[in-house]
Amino acid sequence: MSEKVECHVAKLGFGTKAAKTANLLVGLRKASVAQQLKPFGLTALTLDAGWKLFVNVTDLRWEKALSKPTRKADVVTEADAFEGEWVPVIKIVLQAHYPQIADKLFAEIVRTEGKAAAISVHVLLERLEAMKTGESPFGEEGKQAYEYLQTRGLSDEIVSDAKNGISRLTSVQEEEVSVFDEVALQAAEAAMWGFYLEWSAIARHVIKDGNLLRELGFKKRSRVRTPKPLEIVVTAERAIEAPQLLALSAE
């Protein structure tokens, strides 16, 4: 294979290579194709080996897709979202109906953004839990205030989801490690593509029927035009080739 062809092949993506290999494998099982390639070693075992190479690659790529770690939600983003949506509502409702509880709940808590928001929301959620159970300094009125907040949309599920997100602040962040064998995938793709390159080259060399070649996934061969022989015009002085004669007549 020339350097030019090798360079072109190297640029092909997996999707293109897989499609070409699949088209070739489907075409090779056709009787009119198999009969012409049988003298060159094409057998049922050859086809079976080709299909196994193809399936192995697709299975490995599927395994790779499944092995990608799921991106964990950003704690800071979750805190910002809770603070932006629910903190104002909690404050407005409590100030309107339970002003003393509101003062206790938001004491020393200021509106923040970014990493600081996660800490502020963590403190607020801890205080909401104390309100819910009537702990000091909220007492029985705190329980009533919490129940009232629930009627305004602040469900236990919303609070629980926020707490679960913020709880990751207290745990050591783990590195996301993929255990997928990338080398095995590359080797499998190389083996599949090697099969294609070998049998596509043999097929294009042996098979002359354009329709069969198209069924194997090859484009129609461009027709090679035979150059027309030069027309010789004999004059009284000398023999002049047709193109030269035209040039002379134009002068």
pLDDT, tens digit, 9 for 90 and up, residues 196-247: 999 999 999 999 988 888 888 887 554 545 555 545 444 444 444 444 434 4
> Which residue's structure tokens are 């009533």?
144
Mean pLDDT, residues 112-138: 84
Phi, psi (5° rounding) for residue 199?
-80, -25
| Residue 54 domain flag | yes
Q: 28: domain range?
A: 3-68+180-215
| pTM tops 0.85 | no
> Can you give the pLDDT at residue 76?
64
- Does residue 35 carry a pLDDT above 80? yes
What's the structural domain count of the chain? 2
| Long-range CB contacts (within 8 A, 24+) of 68-71 | 68/178, 69/176, 69/177, 69/178
Answer yes or no: do 101 and 35 share one domain: no
With both helix axes pointing from N to C terminus, report the angle between 115-133 and 139-151 in degrees, rounded to the nearest 10.
Answer: 110
Structure tokens at 37: 């390639």
Answer yes or no: do 154 and 87 share one domain: yes
| Residue 84 domain flag | yes
Answer yes or no: do 129 and 94 share one domain: yes
- Does residue 132 carry a pLDDT above 50? yes
Answer yes or no: do 79 and 163 share one domain: yes
- Does residue 8 carry a pLDDT above 70? no
Phi, psi (5° rounding) for residue 109?
-105, 125
| Residue 243 domain flag | no
> Can you give the pLDDT at residue 230?
46
Answer yes or no: do 162 and 98 share one domain: yes
| Residue 110 domain flag | yes
